[in-house]
């Protein structure tokens, strides 16, 4: 029912100009609003409440945290073909995203369209900066496992750089490099893993790897790195110094909207593809903010039809700098993510420290 042919027919995932995108994306998202109202009773209840207050220009944005507490789905149980889970960094609760075949197919297809823009249509030899057991249990994917499997499509000769004890298997990595000498290689890993278990180890041991000409794609958030004062430019410098890697693309995406990811362009900005959009929201007024102002990131995606995740309010802070006029030449809004929303102070007499009672 969720026909995305119009989007798929575009020459690149960054084709639509602002005016056209506004029209096409808006009507598609409005159709999804109606679809989820009709098929997800819990979503309908939230929507009734939110629209009464007139937030977000009458659009309904679900806080992502809700997917950790409720099974929000717009399809019958027998049509759920896979449940994606993610573990939050702060709580032990996990998001549960119900996928039917259609949504899962759109997710894969859109991811292909976007990644091909950066990797080309050829499948490249792929070096994964993780250990192989992260994808072993195919029935219960972790977010890391799902991410790796999702991106594995774009590579061949998949080689894991780490062993199960998180040590670099240098022998294996060197053999991989030797085998594909002189050809472009696709490297993928989670930002923190790549830094901690790969770049840092190489840097400290003074080892150099020859991965010049390869493309590094990484994701997963900067929080842990910002805590140790590593930002995007430091990350890129070390990528070049240790491995000779010059093309580095971070991407921003969430398990609640797999597929329509926001990839970092050659000028260091994350870009909204045709399939998705980003808005910055003022948490106090629950209204959208103009470009240039920092606020909560709200993401929209035309993909989710099996669960009401097409418009989400994240707990990340960001700034949109403009639309269609990034120096890299790509269309779409471009932005930076500044990190997680700082936590609120805990006050009062409630049970806020469950850990306190542990013997």
Partner 1 sequence: MTLSAIRLLAPQQSAQSVEFFCQERSDLLTPFSPAALEFVETLSRQLLRDPAFKAHPEMIALGYWLRKANISRLAEQAAVPTAVTNHAVRLPRGLVFHVAPSNVDTIFIYSLVISLLMGNKNLVRLSSKSSAQQMLILQVLNQVLTELPDNPVSHSLMVVTYPHDDTISRQLSSWCDARMLWGGDNTVSHFSSLPVRPTAVDIKFANKYSLALLSVQAVLAADDAGFARLVRAFVSDTYLFGQQACSSPRAVCWLGDTHMVSQASTKFWSAVDAAVNQYPHGLMAADFMQKLVFVAEHAIDYQSVLSPVSSDMTLTVLNTELAGLIETRHHCGRGTFLQTAVSQLTDLNAVLHRGVQTLTYFGISAGELQTWLQAGVPGLDRLVPVGQGLDFDYIWDGVDLFASLSRFVTIR
Region 313-352 residues binding Zn ion, contact defined as CB under 5 A: 326, 328, 334
Q: Which does 353 bind (CB under 5 to 8 A by kind): partner 1, Zn ion, none?
A: partner 1
Q: Which does 65 bind (CB under 5 to 8 A by kind): partner 1, Zn ion, none?
A: partner 1
In the complex, what is the shortest distance from the CB of residue 64 to partner 1, in angstroms, rounded to a whole number? 9
Region 258-317 residues binding partner 1, contact defined as CB under 8 A: 283-286, 296, 313, 315
Closest CB to partner 1 among residues 177, 280: 280
Q: β-strand 155-160 against 124-128: which pairing, if any?
A: parallel
Does residue number 15 form part of the binding site for partner 1 (CB under 8 A)?
Answer: no
Beta-carbon contacts of 26 under 8 Å, excluding residues fewer than 6 positions away, are: none
In the complex, what is the shortest distance from the CB of residue 189 to Zn ion, in angstroms, rounded to a whole number? 23
Q: Which does 1 bind (CB under 5 to 8 A by kind): Zn ion, partner 1, none?
A: none
What is the Cα–Cα distance from 25 to 22, expressed in whole angstroms?
6
Q: Which tokens go with 235?
A: 């990350």
DSSP states of 276-328: EEEEEEETTTTEE--TT-EEEEEEEES---SSS-SEEEEEEEEEEEEES--TT
Greatest CA span in the chain, whole angstroms?
A: 63
Closest CB to Zn ion among residues 199, 235: 235
Does residue number 359 form part of the binding site for partner 1 (CB under 8 A)?
Answer: yes
What is the Cα–Cα distance from 349 to 56, expressed in whole angstroms?
33
Distance of CA 150 to the CA centre of its chain: 12
Interhelix angle 143-152/101-119, nearest 10 degrees: 60
Task: Note the residue count of the chain.
Answer: 359
What is the per-residue binding string for Zn ion in 210-249, x denoting contact by CB under 5 A?
----------------------------------------
Rounded to a whole number of angstroms, the distance between the first and last alpha carbons of the chain is 53
Q: Which does 268 bind (CB under 5 to 8 A by kind): Zn ion, partner 1, none?
A: none
Does residue number 358 form part of the binding site for partner 1 (CB under 8 A)?
Answer: yes
Closest CB to Zn ion among residues 202, 265: 265
Categorise residue 42: left if φ over 0, alpha if ψ from -120 to 50, beta otherwise. alpha
| Residues in touch with partner 1 (CB under 8 A) | 42, 45-46, 48-50, 52-54, 62-63, 65-66, 69-70, 283-286, 296, 313, 315, 341-359
């Amino acid at each position: 029912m969720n026909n995305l042919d119009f989007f798929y027919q575009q020459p690149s995932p960054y084709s639509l100009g602002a005016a056209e995108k506004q029209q096409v994306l808006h009507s598609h998202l409005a159709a999804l609003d109606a679809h989820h109202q009709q098929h997800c009773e819990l979503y309908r209840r939230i929507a009734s409440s939110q629209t009464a207050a007139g937030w977000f220009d009458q659009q309904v944005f679900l806080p992502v945290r809700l997917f950790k507490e409720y099974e929000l789905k717009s399809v019958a149980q027998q049509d759920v073909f896979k449940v994606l889970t993610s573990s939050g960094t702060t709580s032990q609760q996990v998001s549960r995203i119900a996928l039917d075949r259609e949504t899962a197919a759109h997710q894969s297809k859109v991811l292909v369209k976007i990644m091909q823009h950066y990797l080309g249509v050829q499948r490249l030899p792929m070096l994964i900066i993780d250990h192989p057991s992260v994808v072993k249990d195919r029935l219960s994917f972790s977010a890391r496992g799902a991410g790796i499997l999702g991106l594995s499509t774009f590579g061949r000769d998949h080689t894991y750089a780490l062993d199960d004890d998180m040590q670099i298997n240098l022998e294996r990595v060197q053999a991989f490099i030797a085998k594909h000498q002189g050809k472009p290689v696709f490297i993928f890993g989670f930002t923190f893993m790549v830094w901690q278990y790969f770049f840092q180890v190489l840097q400290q041991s003074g080892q150099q790897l020859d991965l010049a000409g390869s493309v590094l794609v990484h994701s997963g958030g900067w929080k842990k790195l910002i805590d140790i004062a590593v930002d995007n430019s430091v990350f890129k410098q070390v990528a070049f110094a240790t491995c000779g890697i010059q093309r580095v693309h971070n991407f921003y995406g969430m398990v609640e909207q797999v597929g329509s990811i926001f990839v970092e362009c050659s000028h260091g900005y994350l870009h909204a593809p045709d399939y998705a959009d980003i808005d910055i929201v003022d948490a106090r007024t629950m209204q959208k903010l103009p470009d240039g102002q920092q606020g909560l990131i709200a993401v929209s995606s035309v993909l989710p039809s099996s669960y009401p995740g097409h418009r989400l309010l994240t707990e990340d802070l960001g700034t949109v700098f403009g639309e269609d006029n990034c120096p890299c030449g790509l269309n779409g809004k471009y932005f930076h993510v500044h990190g997680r929303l700082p936590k609120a102070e805990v006050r009062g007499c409630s049970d806020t420290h469950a850990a306190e009672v542990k013997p």
